A and B are shown apart, each in its own frame.
Chain A
Amino acid sequence: MKKYKENTFNVIDQQQSILQPWQDPRVLSRYRTRKLKNSLFKIFPIVSLLAILYPLLDILYMFAYKGVQVISFTRLTGLTSGYVGLANEIVGTFFLIALSSAIVIPMGVSGGIYMAEFSRKSKYTEMVHFVIDILAGVPSIVLGYAGYLLLVLYLGCGFSALAGAITLSVLMLPYIIRTTELSLNRVPTSIREAATALGCTKTTMINRLTLRFALPGILTGILLAISIAFGETAALLFTTGASDYMPTGALCNSQVGYLTYAIFQFSPFQSPFASANNLAYLAAFLLIIIVLSINIIARIGLRRLSKI
């Protein structure tokens, strides 16, 4: 009996064409377009991800493949004269990095300490923040030009390790100041309050407490800055010069070879010789390994930083 009634109702509905809202063709078509849009959208992030991962993996794969092909003991220990090896470039790169780190780390860390510990939110701090933002955005070739004009030409240091290292340190400074300041700012206020309550002077508090808490973060910033310096070419082209022999250790008027220069100058872009091209592939391989391992170490450090 009941069943019969339902059926009649349905029949009546259809006859009078009174539709439930979800049966309305307009609603249905809107629903379909919404669904279609959504499924089209689902593809978009994946496509863009592939578009970016494919070149990255291709770069890593290609240089790893070529690098393993050309790596050899002579190419790692020979001098560049006659395209034998990259020893002087490797030593030169580390020499430049050590020199610029020695210049910039004290500067950057102390700048960060001042802004985080002595004058938060002062005019001076605001100005330094602004200038750091500008400095971080100056193209490295412009820094290279300024270094060339001031250090190489005007001050007469010539193409040299010192000119290159000072230019690199300008490049690294913003990163180190900002990370130092940031990690010091993250040290909990309770620690500062406890130190003050115990009668610590500011000097003791910074050296014994806050700096130690902020150390992983500061080291991360320094490592990131160093990895940027490792990969820098344009800033060094006209400040460091180029050399086929081991760096003499002299700071001025003694040109130094470095890895990125080998990549730029020995690649097929500039050099037709296969022996030179092989060195460029090897240099690229070494540079990628160095930069990526520094980045990985730094990111592990970052993770520790965020736990404070």
Chain B
Amino acid sequence: MQHRSADKIYKYVTAMGGGNALLFIFVIGAILVIFSYPSLVVNGLHFFSSITWNPHLSGEMITMNGIKTISGASYGMVVFAVGTLISSALALLFGVPIGLGVAIFLSQTAPKKVTAPISFLVEMMAGIPSVIYGFWGFIVLGPFLLNVVEPGLAAHLSFIPFFNPPVYGYGLLASGMILALMIVPIIASISRDAMLQTPKELKEGAVALGLTKWEFIRSMVLPFAKTSIIGSIILGLGRSLGETMAVAMVAGGAVNYLPHTFFYSTNTMAAFMALSMDSAFTDPSGMFISALVELALVLMIITTTVNVIARALVKRGFISSETVIKI
């Protein structure tokens, strides 16, 4: 009898451990909603349609709907939303082919001796902190783009509308490339695991039919791993939408204007949140902070949706949960 009650105590104590996750997510959601309430009321739909983010700190304090704000202040998230979407799209554009290429290399074409060290290097990439990527992007990638890549692109591709000079170095292209670096390990390691699951019979059949390696991969490996690959791509998208420090250091910090070319400096929601909280402390009405919290709420809703879809897809594929955890 004593033992059974010990079991019961053990059960309830451990149940509380997992319950903390439920508590945390509830608290985070509640906090974001409560603190963004002033901004939700005062800014309304203006928040989603305006490109101007101007706290207008020199203005007069007024009261709107019982909430303190500063007259003439305008909070619009369009610039950051556009920057987030385009830089993530660029990241997918660069990252998906590279990630799939690495996955194909590791699962199909690589000689056995190099597979283990290269898998290790790729997984190591996922472990490098984002602030290190940002630092590298700021001192190496930005100047390289500014001096070498972007002038070349602008000179030869300026007939395409989004490749006109002037060039800035830090901007959409730099953010997209840094984000691509960060999502390649995710795409590569999940897709590799899925591709490794391709049944041997398919491979034997392909050899018997005289398919070339490329035909085998295109017609058998890729369709077989399709669900997991799409899942990994969406998982990478979720990561790049929410990425903060790396983008903050290479985006160029644009406010109040939209990018006209891929070279324009930009700003993402997460990066702007990280860089402007310090100036938000100086707003006596607290509306600046509230608007930033609303931005956080919007970002959380977007990334949560993307992640739930991605994880459902990845799990429907043939992936060991170990790979999913590592990311």
Contacts and interface: CB of A to CB of B under 8 A. Distances in A.
Nearest to A150: B31
Interface string B273-296: 110010000000000000011001
Contact of A131 (B16, B25, B127, B273): B25
B267 interface: no
B307 interface: yes
Nearest to B22: A131
A250 interface: no
B291 to A, nearest CB: 12
A280 B184 contact: no
B129 A264 contact: no
A53 B311 CA distance: 27
B67 to A, nearest CB: 17
B128 A113 contact: no
A45 B97 CA distance: 9
B117 to A, nearest CB: 11
B131 interface: yes
A160 interface: no
B: interface residue count bin? 35 or more
Interface string B241-279: 111110001000000000000000000001001100100
A150 B277 CA distance: 15
B131 A295 contact: no
B118 A49 contact: yes
Given A106-B17, A118-B11, A35 B212 contact: yes
A197 interface: no
B133 interface: yes
Contacts of A227: 127
Interface stretch (B38-46, B49-57, B69-77, B135-143): B135-143
A108 interface: yes
B101 interface: yes
B140 A58 contact: yes
7 contacts: A55-B181, A134-B307, A139-B299, A142-B273, A145-B296, A267-B135, A287-B132
Interface of A: 34-35, 37-38, 40-42, 44-49, 51-53, 55-56, 58-59, 62-63, 106-115, 117-119, 124-125, 127-128, 130-146, 148-150, 154, 170, 173-175, 177-179, 182, 201-203, 206, 221, 224, 227-228, 230-234, 237-238, 260, 263-264, 267-269, 280, 284, 287-288, 291-292, 295, 299, 302
